[in-house]
Amino acid sequence: MSGSVSEVQAIHTELIAWLNEAAYPLWSSHGVDTRYGGFQECLDLDGAPMAIPRRARVQPRQVYAFAQAPRMGWRGDAAGVAAHGLEYFLTRFRRPDGLFRAVVMPDGAPVEEAPVLYDQAFALLGFAAADRVVGPRFDLQGEAERLRAAILRHFKRDGGGFGSDGGSGLPLQSNPHMHLFEAMLAWSEKTGAAEWRALADEIGELAVGRLLDPVTGVVRENYNGDWKPAPGLAGRIVEPGHQYEWAWLLLRWGGAGGEIAQAARRLIDVGENFGVHQGVVVMSLLDDFSVHDANARLWPQGERLKANALAARLFGEERYWRATVEAAKLLLRFLGTPVRGLWYDKLVESGAGSREFVREAVPASSFYHVVDAIGELGALAEHHLVRTTRNP
């Protein structure tokens, strides 16, 4: 394991330098809109902003990323950047019913008025992270409690779980539940309040009791109204990146022991055994584990890193250390753009078993994944250092 430990420490040092010397400075300048407010949806590969509609999920994700900046070692104005994003999000995206619309133009003109659960979950997560850095100006705990109540009114289902769009439409989707679980855990860990923990427990129990396939152990993307696989192709889709993401959340929720940990470890095994091809996490499989979409995006690589790094920290097994190193090295490849501080979003098949990066706009939405992956890698490196110091 000593080789894996030294590689983790070295790659973490390299990633932290990229983050603090390049990414945070670039995205706090070019990625911030000083005319209309808020964050840019994406930058081009030269680092220039693109004037396109803005999704609700991107604003709190960027707030989250900058709220992590002080603990990552960035000395810039993280609080000011986070507050800038919050002000825009709360004034341009909020609807009269307390939920947040899906898309606006840069000047705040609504494009898609209807709220979706996925966006509300990220609003809650952004509020939880920013509350540590922006102070009492925004009353983010109150904002979160009011949003939680609005979510329960608008999205809660009698049959368990939540609708994705507030209506009765099918299929039901696991992905918004995953991010709502993430937000509930963040607020539960922050406040210790029973209301947050109860909702986290409800989603965690839905995951292990209904979403996880009893035979294969996977979480599918789409379900019918009884939480059975949706009919047709939609019910067969399995995304390896989401297996890792669910594993990371279940380990945070249930800890290192018992059936929950076993379910999480099984999800990581699915990702490692079936989701990694040519060294990258592919976008999707079918329920027989055949590849459905062989292309790769940045975010599943970050989720592989997060899940394996946490598993290595909890269980200490060499296989998790090894997968962590592989994922971290691949993350560095995605970050190797000509303008330092940006990233490639897609690595696609280009024939004869090779892959190439797509030269296209850089989505701001990926920054949240990258920051969390670097943070989890750092936690693993620090954990090993503490253990070594205590037990020389």
Confidence of residue 389 (pLDDT cuts 50, 70, 90): low
Q: Do residue 165 and residue 238 come from a single domain?
A: no
Q: Do residue 145 and residue 266 come from a single domain?
A: no
Q: Do residue 61 and residue 84 come from a single domain?
A: yes
Q: State which amino acid sits at residue 216.
A: T
Read off the pTM: 0.96
Would residue 372 count as lying in a domain?
Answer: yes
Burial label for 386, CB within 10 Å (0-12, 13-18, 19+), is: exposed
Which CATH number characterizes residue 92's domain?
Answer: 1.50.10.10
> Residue 347 is inside which H or E element, if any?
strand 346-351
How many alpha carbons lie under 13 Å from residue 152 in its C-beta half-sphere? 13
Q: Which residue has the higher pLDDT, 136 or 66?
A: 66
Domain count, the chain: 2
pLDDT of residue 329: 98
Q: Do residue 17 and residue 83 come from a single domain?
A: no
With pLDDT > 70 as the criterion, what percentage of the chain qualifies?
96
Q: Do residue 191 and residue 247 come from a single domain?
A: no
The pLDDT tens digits of the residues spanning 218-232 come to 999 999 999 999 999
Would residue 191 count as lying in a domain?
Answer: yes
Domain that holds residue 245: 1-30+212-392
pLDDT for 182 beyond 80: yes
How many alpha carbons lie under 13 Å from residue 87 in its C-beta half-sphere? 14
pLDDT of residue 299: 98
Average pLDDT, integer, range 183-191: 97
Q: Do residue 223 and residue 336 come from a single domain?
A: yes
Would residue 108 count as lying in a domain?
Answer: yes
Would residue 38 count as lying in a domain?
Answer: no
CA proximity to 266, closest of 199, 207, 203, 179:
207
pLDDT of residue 135: 87
Q: Which of 178, 201, 224 is the last residue before a domain boundary?
A: 201
Q: Do residue 195 and residue 216 come from a single domain?
A: no
Would residue 337 count as lying in a domain?
Answer: yes
Would residue 37 count as lying in a domain?
Answer: no
Cross-strand bridge partners of residue 355: 349
List b or e across 86-107, with b for residues whose CB sees 16 or more CB atoms inside 10 angstroms: bebbbebbbeeebbbbbbbebe
pLDDT of residue 387: 60
Would residue 207 count as lying in a domain?
Answer: no
Q: Do residue 134 and residue 156 come from a single domain?
A: yes
Would residue 36 count as lying in a domain?
Answer: no
pLDDT for 49 beyond 80: yes
Confidence of residue 2 (pLDDT cuts 50, 70, 90): low
Confidence of residue 113 (pLDDT cuts 50, 70, 90): very high
Q: Do residue 67 and residue 21 come from a single domain?
A: no
Confidence of residue 352 (pLDDT cuts 50, 70, 90): confident
pLDDT of residue 353: 76
69-73, 158-162, 206-210, 284-288, range with the lowest pLDDT: 158-162
Confidence of residue 351 (pLDDT cuts 50, 70, 90): confident
Q: Which of 151, 171, 201 is the last residue before a domain boundary?
A: 201
The pLDDT tens digits of the residues spanning 86-96 come to 999 999 999 99
Confidence of residue 369 (pLDDT cuts 50, 70, 90): very high
Average pLDDT, integer, range 326-331: 98
Q: Which of 175, 201, 227 is the last residue before a domain boundary?
A: 201
Q: Do residue 187 and residue 249 come from a single domain?
A: no
Average pLDDT, integer, range 169-179: 95
Burial label for 289, CB within 10 Å (0-12, 13-18, 19+), is: middle
Q: Do residue 292 and residue 341 come from a single domain?
A: yes
pLDDT for 385 beyond 70: no
Q: Do residue 107 and residue 225 come from a single domain?
A: no
pLDDT of residue 291: 98
